Structure 1
């Protein structure tokens, strides 16, 4: 855990005592969407609202427990360094006296992109629809945060887990990138990192990770491309598709979008809850083209995250839809 203490000393994360850490109340809505046996709780610390990340179940085997500690220590190190960016979930402190470290994050409304895009029917339409411009802006905000991961430090950091569950939305519907327990940095003198701790993310993994477990900046680009398609279509990375005269079958979002383009049915790609009449045809084509370039099978054909950020920024500026609250630090 030495890296954890180094990160705490250099960053803005502070160590709290267990007595302080236990002063929280459960947010049941937040527990519903969380994975990897981690729960989020609402609390109050020094007069401010916070989110407490706590792993409820601890595996009995020593090797599995060691992996959990490694992931949490990695999250503390990376989140502390990334906290200077205003689109990254800010880690305020941690408790290291418990068997498994407890992490204290800034308060963000307990809604993720999964709630707003993929679970909107289950929420009985109680959540406002994210319109086209909102989704472009959110994609840009995510790209800003991931680009910062890749370029702000001497060695690139790879997020490794870009999917709707990893993105919170605050009260202004601005994207806040979270979930750093599976992130990693590329070692000195290497162009990739082999990481066996990262779990599959339901269709968001790049081909080179699936076959060789290799992570580079371009694996994040691939995952972002899938996430961008999810934003545009309202569909998950993999879903059941029912064709006329056929039984339901599982398909992935890339093949589905490509098929729609091939059959000249591009208007059917957009999430039906969005008002299509407000979407410029050129903007729709450019967005889909960017997402598909990000998901190219060969990594070298994908744009960099910085290029993605610039393209999305140009799209938004051309339609004058970037709010002043979304400036990047």
Structure 2
């Protein structure tokens, strides 16, 4: 028994030293990233201890969302509900992606349609991020509900969400000295608060375009499978139009209620843009939309959104609109009389 107690004490001391070492190392890296991201000015950010995260999450008991590279937990701290993002320590690039996420999230948190960064924990080997809580979860679960219980989202709500998170992307592209490319826009990176206001999240793969340049050349293409822009996938060249392609894929999903890869009439894999191209709107739109009261009168709006989604996913980046133009077009569609 005494040996067990001694071993436990040694383990506790070792863990405490490891957390202290991680705090010092990560603290310098995070400060450097924040200063670089925020034009030389340090961003005021709250730091949480690992013990505070354990207490806030009841020992990481409630998982909100799990991705390939991280897990998002629900927590409560000082009467406020928060979400805690823990990166997978087995991923060799996790520290770099976590630092990028912190830097861009801090910079973009002022926008109402970006998930607000509250703080971070530096005591974990990979810095953990603490965000505001989005009560209604990821957009993915609100659109794809065929196997879940729930009420389909109404078309006007879908259209409003599409416009609002498009505005967040346009903000990233235009509001900063060095345009920010999100590079991984997808349903699971759009969270909804209690009022279904969308919050763009996860800047792990984001890049900033250098001054005087129009693109960044990367050695490793990162993103999510079928969402990745073909030009980016084949050349490693990332531009603002890379985000436009990703956005177009999400817009088509919102319209059709379909995944990005589906089976065509010959039972072969087919991309969503190819599936909906040259088909009439009533064949491809989510049936739940047409079943709404007045759904038959929505056809002009639905057709306009389809055309916008297809333009955003054109192979040639020059044909795709800018995100500023996308937001303008969505506002026009929203105001149109169905």
| TM-score tier after normalising by the smaller chain length | 0.7 to 0.9
Residue of structure 2 in register with 1:113 after alignment: 139
Residue of structure 2 in register with 1:226 after alignment: 249
Alpha-carbon RMSD across the aligned residues, in angstroms, is: 2.0
Cα offsets for 1:273-323 (capped at 9, x unmatched): 223542432212211111111111111111100000011112223359xxx
For residues 185 and 210 of structure 1, what CA distance do their matches in structure 2 show? Answer: 18
Tell me, yes or no, if structure 1 residue 83 matches structure 2 residue 117: no
Structure 2 SS opposite 1:43: strand
Cα offsets for 1:212-259 (capped at 9, x unmatched): 111111110111011100000000111223x2xx4x221110001114
Residue of structure 2 in register with 1:266 after alignment: 281
TM-score with structure 1 setting the length: 0.86
For residues 180 and 61 of structure 2, what CA distance do their matches in structure 1 show? Answer: 31
Would you say how many aligned residue pairs link Structure 1 and Structure 2? Answer: 301
Does structure 2 retain, via aligned residues, the 8 Å contact 1:3–1:77? no
TM-score with structure 2 setting the length: 0.83
Unpaired runs of at least 5, structure 1:
321-329
Moved over 6 A (4+): none
Structure with the bigger RCO (C-alpha within 8 Å, sep 6+) is 1
Structure 2 SS opposite 1:251: strand
Q: Structure 2 matches for 1:20-31, cutoff 5 A?
A: 20-23=52-55, 24-25=57-58, 26=60, 28=62, 30-31=64-65
Cα offsets for 1:55-97 (capped at 9, x unmatched): 2x422xxxx52x2111000000000000000000001000112
Q: State which structure, 1 or 2, has the greater radius of gyration over its C-alpha atoms.
A: 2
Residue of structure 2 in register with 1:35 after alignment: 67
CA drift of 1:113 comes to 1.5
Residue of structure 2 in register with 1:326 after alignment: none
For residues 177 and 3 of structure 1, what CA distance do their matches in structure 2 show? Answer: 24
For residues 28 and 14 of structure 1, what CA distance do their matches in structure 2 show? Answer: 22
For residues 285 and 154 of structure 1, what CA distance do their matches in structure 2 show? Answer: 36
